[in-house]
Amino acid sequence: MSNLPAATRDDTSTRWFDHSRLGLFVHFGLYSVAARHEWVMTRERRTVADYERYAEVFDPDLFDARDIARRAKRAGMGYAVLTTKHHDGFCLFDSAHTTYTSMVHQGRDFVAEWCRALRAEGLKVGLYHSLLDWHHEDFTLDFHHPRRDDPDARSQNEGKDFSRYRTYLHNQVRELLTNYGTIDYLFFDFSYPWTVDGWTGKGKDDWGSIELEAMCRSLQPGIIINDRLDIPGDLVTPEQYQPCAPMEVGGVPVRWEACQTLNGSWGYDRDNTDFKSVDLVLRMLVDTVSKGGNLLLNIGPDGRGAVTAHDGRVLDEIAEWMRLNSTSVIGAGPANLRAPDGVVYTRAGNRLYIHVMAWPFGHLHLPDLAGKVRFVRFLADGSEIRTEVHDPDKEALTTEVGGQPAGTLTLVLPTRPPSPMLPVIEVLLEDGID
């Protein structure tokens, strides 16, 4: 057996993921009614009885999975992931193992709606499922649990049988992978096998991760599974930060996906307006692709299930940029060429894509590309960009691009960028350029 991490897996079941480069994450649940972050139950130390009342008033009449799928498709996303159950334990699917579900309380199976909608738009189907469950009677208290500060917190674990919860967890995952057709991607969340303030967290032995993963692959042989079971997965998932280099495990490059919110909250957080700009989101996207990763961008529908006005605008602006520049992202990857400052390269075959983060003063100098380029143009409108090469052997500097090292190709650019959003230049390389 290979000693390589699982995230190096490369077969027909994973290639769609590597090609997509951009996906949509949707966090939706009872916490959307509270509108104060998806961790509101534990942040506010809520009891189960108090939190359960949200299930009675949850009325997501504006949740439209088909609309979300269409928005994702227009934005160039190849897949989308919906929360089936978050840490609060409320299930957005029909389950034989609990009545704490949207089917019982709202008469709707949102996972079924989700799967149908994504397939109708030709998107790959992703589901998120939390390993935690603060609602389940046998889920033991730990340092994340809402009741951890109760005076009798330690004694509350007496009588709890975590093996019963583990069986419940496995049974629900079986339902998700049996009742909804082909599931392309399963995003588990999350393991924390360390000790804080005398509380011991939970990891692979608690979840029965090896058996759980084996069951998933037996039910859905082509499925992609992330790395949060506390065992190696098909990809690693850095959250809320951008790696500074292509990700590796033990010196071996691995598949990875940066998970990013628009305002620091995954679920609907009404009063949090600290939003990332669309420009920043696009910069994160091309930075991710240049390092061989995917970007999973999150939105949080509101308490009625509607895509918020802000999230809708972000998706619309991404869609407009992708309409003109998608080839620099979808199906692209690292260029393995030396880029100048203020520039991010991606590459697909013999096409090099230059994402200009900081517009230069009239010229952009590309090291080592002289004599290796057939044509250069702005990707958005296909218009030609003139190029010049300085000959350092000449005694006089007869061009305006003198002083550059030998082998430098200089692009002669307009004073202002042609687009208010991240401009992209397409370079057609000569054949055989590594």
Cα separation of 98 and 87, whole Å? 15
Percent of the chain at pLDDT > 90 equals: 92
Strand arrangement of the beta sheet that strand 22-26 belongs to: 224-225, 185-189, 124-130, 79-85, 22-26, 294-299, 257-260
Identify the pLDDT of residue 420: 86
What pLDDT score does 398 carry?
41
User: By mean pLDDT, which of 18-32, 108-122, 136-150, 389-403 is the weakest?
Assistant: 389-403
Q: What is the DSSP letter of 84?
A: E
> Regarding beta strands 195-196 and 185-189, do their DSSP bridges make them parallel or antiparallel, or are they unpaired?
unpaired
**Nearest partner of 30 among 83, 80, 88, judged by Cα:** 88
Structure-block tokens of residue 3: 């000693």
Q: Cα separation of 170 and 187, whole Å? A: 14
- Which amino acid is located at 245 in the chain? A
Helix (H) or strand (E) holding 315: helix 309-325
Q: What residues contact residue 229 under an 8 Å CB cut-off, 6+ apart? A: 131, 188, 191, 204, 207, 209, 212, 213
Quote the pLDDT of residue 136: 98
What H or E segment, with its residue span, contains residue 20?
helix 12-20
| pLDDT at residue number 395 | 41
- φ/ψ of 165, rounded to 5, equals -65, -40
Quote the tokens at residue 212.
């759980």
State the average pLDDT over residues 353-370. Answer: 96
In which band, very low, low, confident or very high, does the pLDDT at 4 lie, cut at 50, 70 and 90? low
**Average pLDDT in the chain:** 95
Residue 3's identity, in one-letter code, is N
Strand partners, 239: 259
**For the chain, which domains are there?**
6-328 (3.20.20.80), 343-429 (2.60.40.1180)
Please name every residue paired with 378 in a beta bridge, in sequence order, or none if there are none: 425
Looking at residue 392, its pLDDT comes to 63
pLDDT digits 0-9 by tens, 385-427: 999 997 666 544 444 456 788 899 999 999 999 888 999 999 9
Q: Which residues contact 385 (CB under 8 A, 6 or more apart)?
A: 376, 377, 378, 411, 412, 413, 425
Helix, strand, coil % over all residues of the chain, rounded to 5: 30, 20, 50
Write out pLDDT tens, residues 116-138: 999 999 999 999 999 999 999 99
Element containing residue 218 per DSSP (H, E): helix 209-219
**What local confidence, expressed as pLDDT, does residue 419 receive?**
85
Residues contacting 334, CB < 8 A, separation 6+: 246, 289, 290, 291, 292, 345, 346, 347
What pLDDT does residue 434 have?
A: 82
* pLDDT-based confidence at residue 25 (cuts at 50, 70, 90): very high
What contacts 198, CB < 8 A, 6 or more positions away? none
Closest CA to 69 of 268, 351, 315, 369: 315
